[in-house]
Amino acid sequence: MAPKNLDNERRELPPNQTAIKRLLRWGKDHPTIGVPVPKISLKDWVLTVDGEVEKPLRLNWDEFLKLLKVESVSDFHCVEGWSVLKCRWEGVRFKSLVALVKPKATAEFASFECADGYTTSLTLEELSGDDVVLAYKLNGDYLEGDIGAPVRLVVPSKYAYKSAMWITRIKLTSKKEMGYWEVRGYSDTADVWKNDRFSK
Ligand SMILES: Nc1nc2c(c(=O)[nH]1)N[C@H]1C(S)=C(S)[C@@H](COP(=O)(O)O)O[C@H]1N2
Ligand SMILES: [Mo]
């Protein structure tokens, strides 16, 4: 007899994760770096994309919304052990934004800077997946402040400390800049399927 539920098994949770219903909301639920939700007015918000690029970009909210939009359903895994399955994110695919700034041959990494002072970084290779999105909607609604409004990164194959909220700048670099949690003992590679939580 054919094995049952093969698909479900393939969609199993990564090691040592437990599914919960909804994303934790920043603030009393989950203040990981201990600062409040930053107040960002859409009127003033600007996303800068610069560094090792031929054509640096500054986009305001209206301009960002005009970029090619995609939808991507993915699971979200926090290193503390909770996961939220089937999040339907809408936003701009990371690789399509990067194509607009024309990375120089020296560009290998992207560092993300956020309105709360948080930082993280990934290789452009790690960010090249179709499921890597700069999201402004979740399950049909614009993001609220406590889940990263106006725009957050989503990198489903990495623990969620790579999924920067409240992004204000994306800087392409030729050298790795270690992020907030990555210099405090968390893994820089952060592969959820390998249980890769702590730096070695
Ligand atoms: N700017 C910023 N982004 C961040 C963080 C942060 O402290 N600041 N925490 C990370 C961590 S550890 C997690 S689990 C997720 C939480 O996302 P959520 O608030 O949508 O659940 O955001 C990630 N992105
Ligand atoms: Mo987290």
Find the DSSP H helices in the chain. 6-10, 61-66, 94-101
What mean pLDDT is reported for the chain? Answer: 93
Please name each of the domains of the chain with its CATH number. Answer: 18-24+45-186 (3.90.420.10)
Q: How far is the CA of 79 from the centre of ligand 2 (A)?
A: 5
Note the pLDDT of residue 62. 98
CA–CA separation, 26 and 148 (whole Å): 9
Taking 80 as the threshold, does the pLDDT of residue 2 lie above it?
Answer: no
Q: Are 156 and 150 in contact (CB under 8 A)?
A: no
Note the pLDDT of residue 12. 81
Choice between 194 and 24, residue whose per-residue pLDDT is larger:
194
pLDDT bucket at 11, cuts 50 / 70 / 90: low
Ligand at shortest distance from the CA of 32: 1
Note the pLDDT of residue 18. 96
% of residues, the chain, pLDDT over 90: 87
pLDDT bucket at 198, cuts 50 / 70 / 90: very high
**Closest ligand 1 atom, residue 80 Cα:** 14
Pocket lining: 20 vs ligand 1, CB cutoff 6 Å: no
pLDDT bucket at 97, cuts 50 / 70 / 90: very high
Q: Are 199 and 186 in contact (CB under 8 A)?
A: yes
Nearest residue (CA) to ligand 1, atom 4: 164
Nearest residue (CA) to ligand 1, atom 15: 160
pLDDT tens column, 30-83: 777 878 899 999 999 999 999 999 999 999 999 999 999 999 999 999 999 999
Which amino acid would we find at residue 41?
S
Lowest mean pLDDT among 28-32, 96-100, 123-127: 28-32
Average pLDDT over residues 83-97: 98
DSSP-derived secondary structure for 121-168: EEETTTT-STT-EEEEEETTEEPPGGGT-S-EEE-TTB-GGGS-SSEE
Average pLDDT over residues 159-170: 98
Q: What is the pTM of this model?
A: 0.94
Pocket lining: 186 vs ligand 1, CB cutoff 6 Å: no
Taking 70 as the threshold, does the pLDDT of residue 87 lie above it?
Answer: yes
Note the pLDDT of residue 7. 47
